[in-house]
Amino acid sequence: MKRIIFVSLFIFIFNAFQIDIAHAHRVIIFAWIDGDKVYTKSKFSNGKPVKAGKIIVYDPKGQELLTGKTDQAGKFFFKIPRKTALEIVLLASMGHQAKWTLPLNEVLSLSSQQSASNLPDNNSGNETKKTTYNSSGSDPKMEEIQRAMEKAIDKKLKPLKEMIAASQVKTTSLTDVIGGIGYILGIIGIASYFHYRRRQENTKND
């Protein structure tokens, strides 16, 4: 009877606050590249956007490139400042921080060829700039078509890019919860194993 009361109390507490396993307490930032801009989205792990969170972008050497603030929807975007890997740090209040790294190859390959070549190169000594549209450079009409196509594809891909970036964020799953409880029960089990082994040895010696 007591056990039933305990269990129902537990279930009540969980239902009362509509526990959703994805509702958890940490901040998440993810970023994706579209054209020559980097888009970021920041949220708490229950999905609420981080409003007016501070964003700082670093290069791999830890040099600060730019800072900004997220808007009401938790979004912030900026132009790629340099051809380098980008480390985007979100500082939300109450000691919360999250980081997202855009590796160099992503910055180079995902930003469309034309806009990427306009960016200042990281190694300033390297003067060999990529010539864009080498194959079709002679035909201005082809160039225009190609540019329009890229624009259209970018537009269509934008929600997909956002989805992929969002799906790379690890969220809390039921498996984690059960796993954690399992670890704690395992520690109890190991402790009682040693306890009973010692007791058995003592009784043998007596």
Question: Which residues have a Cβ under 8 Å from the Cβ of 93 and sit 6 or more positions away?
Answer: 53
Give the residue from 27, 29, 161 showing the smallest Cα distance to 106.
161
Q: What is the DSSP letter of 119?
A: S
User: Rounded distance, CA 194 to CA 206, Å?
Assistant: 18
Instruction: By CB under 8 A, tell whether 14 contacts other proteins.
Output: yes
**Per CB under 8 A, which of residues 20..49 are in contact with other proteins?**
20-21, 23-27, 44, 46, 48
Out of 62, 72, 94, 126, the only residue in the binding site for other proteins (CB under 8 A) is 94
Total interface residues for other proteins by CB under 8 A: 41
Out of 8, 63, 67, 93, the only residue in the binding site for other proteins (CB under 8 A) is 93
Q: What is the DSSP letter of 164?
A: H
Beta-bridge partner residues of 28:
43
Instruction: By CB under 8 A, tell whether 4 contacts other proteins.
Output: no
Spatial contact of 55 and 99, defined as CB atoms under 8 Å apart:
no
Only one of the segments 89-97, 101-109, 127-135, 146-154 lies at the binding site for other proteins (rule: CB under 8 A); that segment is 89-97
H helix runs in 18-173, sequence order: 104-110, 113-118, 140-167
Instruction: By CB under 8 A, tell whether 152 contacts other proteins.
Output: no
Spatial contact of 116 and 131, defined as CB atoms under 8 Å apart:
no
User: Rounded distance, CA 17 to CA 78, Å?
Assistant: 38
Spatial contact of 119 and 83, defined as CB atoms under 8 Å apart:
yes
Only one of the segments 32-40, 97-105, 110-118, 143-151 lies at the binding site for other proteins (rule: CB under 8 A); that segment is 97-105
Out of 66, 148, 153, 187, the only residue in the binding site for other proteins (CB under 8 A) is 187
Instruction: By CB under 8 A, tell whether 170 contacts other proteins.
Output: yes
Only one of the segments 58-66, 108-116, 146-154, 168-176 lies at the binding site for other proteins (rule: CB under 8 A); that segment is 168-176
Residues that bind other proteins (CB under 8 A): 2, 5, 9, 13-14, 17-21, 23-27, 44, 46, 48, 91, 93-99, 170, 172, 176-177, 179-181, 183-185, 187-188, 191-192, 195
